[in-house]
């Protein structure tokens, strides 16, 4: 590897974060959500690291599930978006997959396909993205059962669980409880935010995702999230250093202008690697453990940082973009986005190194 831009993935941190999720809901089972290449951390390596402790994994698509099966992952696999064709129903059945069913069309499609595949039946309790209307749930379950399809779990998904002072989550809980109170079915409600801060949402199955990778889903301090360990540290190196006089500008669009005689370092990472294009001047990076704020527009292959006061900085020095020293959420906030997008957006040209 000739370019020192890489993502260091701490698999032990992921195991620790999964253990935290389990400890917060000891009466529940927790599956590990590893969709979107395990939020950018490498789905196969994360699955291998958790397969002895996680009773099940959740992915978004059947293609992700098949990749895991091909790699020899035999844990139960839940496909969150379900399937939409008879061929996919047959593939799910032959690969021992569990499907989330969230539309009337999926209900009918499974029945018409005539295959026996376990399902989780999803209720729309207020997010209005996926899920059956609460009033349609009981009938859908009966139709699936009559078609020989085993409905194993009733589930829903929170829209605002990262907001601790609103009523939306409580209203969703009330809606879900009302729709499922007369049904003898295991339930699944809690995502990462639910696991960490909404104990009333802990049901038979929880679905921690973002927290497994060491980041908090909350914009405010939450005590339970303090124990999370960041799993990805994104690093690169300084490839050039130059003096910039007062009044001179740096980068595309001249968006940063030196207000004093300054030292600027060029770092070998850019938006083609997944570093956020819209990160603002002042976004933190660490050079040799010391703050070096972004100075200038992020380009495709490089960023520039202010090294003024870094008397010992040299070409080749390591730069942390996010990880154990800088929370990915802090970088995301400076770019007007969320940490989820940054982690999943680290591109394939950035090697992952596991330890």
| Residues recognised as catalytic | 35, 252
Give CA separation, 165 vs 145, 180, 224, in Å.
Answer: 40, 25, 17
Q: Say how far apart CA 102 and CA 121 lie, in whole Å.
A: 6
Nearest to residue 249, comparing CAs of 269, 268, 266, 264? 264
Burial environment of residue 345 by CB neighbours within 10 A (0 to 12, 13 to 18, 19 or more)? middle
Beta bridge partners of 233: 8
Question: DSSP secondary-structure letter at 142?
Answer: H
Nearest to residue 120, comparing CAs of 136, 147, 94, 144? 144
Q: Say how far apart CA 186 and CA 16 lie, in whole Å.
A: 26
Distance of CA 119 to the CA centre of its chain: 23
* H helices present in 160-307, as ranges: 168-180, 192-197
């Amino acid at each position: 590897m000739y370019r020192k831009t890489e993502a260091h993935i701490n698999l032990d941190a992921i195991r620790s974060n999964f253990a935290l999720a389990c400890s917060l809901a000891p009466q529940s089972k927790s599956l590990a959500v590893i969709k979107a290449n395990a939020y950018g951390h490498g789905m196969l390596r994360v699955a291998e690291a958790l397969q002895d402790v996680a009773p099940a994994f959740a992915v978004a698509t059947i293609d992700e599930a098949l990749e895991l099966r091909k790699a020899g992952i035999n844990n139960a696999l839940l496909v969150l978006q379900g399937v939409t064709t008879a061929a996919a129903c047959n593939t799910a059945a032959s690969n021992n997959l569990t499907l989330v069913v969230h539309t009337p069309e999926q209900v009918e499609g499974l029945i018409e396909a005539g295959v026996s595949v376990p399902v989780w039946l999803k209720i729309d309790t207020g997010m209005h993205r996926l899920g059956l209307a609460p009033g349609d749930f009981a009938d859908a379950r009966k139709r699936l059962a009559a078609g020989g399809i085993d409905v194993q779990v009733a589930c829903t998904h929170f829209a605002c669980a990262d907001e601790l002072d609103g009523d939306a989550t409580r209203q969703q809980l009330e809606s879900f409880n009302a729709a499922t109170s007369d049904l003898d079915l295991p339930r699944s409600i809690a995502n990462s935010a639910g696991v960490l801060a909404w104990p009333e949402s802990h049901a038979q199955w929880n679905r921690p995702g973002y927290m497994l990778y060491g980041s908090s889903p909350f914009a405010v301090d939450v005590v339970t999230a303090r124990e999370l360990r960041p799993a990805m540290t994104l690093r690169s190196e300084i490839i050039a250093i130059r003096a910039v006089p007062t009044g001179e500008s740096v980068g595309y669009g001249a968006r940063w202008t030196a207000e004093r005689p300054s030292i600027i370092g060029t770092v070998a990472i850019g938006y083609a690697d997944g570093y956020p294009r819209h990160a603002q001047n002042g976004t933190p990076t660490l050079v040799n453990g010391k703050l070096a704020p972004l100075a200038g527009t992020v380009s495709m292959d490089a960023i520039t940082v202010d090294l003024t006061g870094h008397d010992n900085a040299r070409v080749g020095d390591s730069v942390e973009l996010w990880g154990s020293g800088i929370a990915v959420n802090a970088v995301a906030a400076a770019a007007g986005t969320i940490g989820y997008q940054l982690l999943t957006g680290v591109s394939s040209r950035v090697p992952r190194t596991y330890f």
